[in-house]
Amino acid sequence: MKPDKDVIEFIQAVVDSLVMWELVVFLWNNPGITDKAKGIASRLGRRSEDILGPLEALVEHGILEKWGEAAQPIYAFRQDSKFAEALEKFAAFSQDKEGKLWIWAQLLHRGIR
């Protein structure tokens, strides 16, 4: 199984780490999520420090909204982002065994761990 153009472009533009991969799939599967970094990290079984960079990158890409106090902002998934369709395809593709292997290969090829 090979991904379509949207999935490839989404990986190249957005998915720059395994944490980012995990985070975007989590957000797609939980579209109503509105929480602080600590809460999202807890749901993923990670530390807040592990996801702060990816959360901020998703805000920059327009996939997440951020508001509230600067010390502990609240993040919310934007289902209307320009990446919404590609994110949906990516999430579906990453559920397939061959899809997962393909994504792993792409990330490893780029030197991402």
Query: One digit per residue, pLDDT tens: the chain, 113 residues?
Result: 789 999 999 999 999 999 999 999 999 999 999 999 999 999 999 999 999 999 999 999 999 999 998 889 999 999 888 999 999 999 999 999 999 999 999 999 888 76
Q: Which range of residues forms the domain containing residue 38?
A: 5-105
Looking at residue 32, which CATH number applies to its domain?
Answer: 1.10.10.10
In a domain, 110, yes or no: no
**Which pTM does this prediction carry?**
0.89
Domain-located, residue 100: yes
- First CA to last CA across the chain, in angstroms? 23
Q: What is the dihedral sign for C-alpha 12, 32, 57, 113? A: negative
Residue 113 in any domain: the answer is no
Judge whether 111 lies within some domain: no
What dihedral angle (degrees, nearest 10) is formed by the CA atoms of 99, 105, 109, 113? 100
30 located within any domain: yes
Q: What is the DSSP string of 20-82?
A: HHHHHHHHHH-TT-EEEHHHHHHHHT--HHHHHHHHHHHHHTTSEEEES-SSS-EEEE-TTST
**For the chain, how many structural domains are there in total?**
1
Query: 54 and 47 in contact (C-beta within 8 Å)?
Result: no
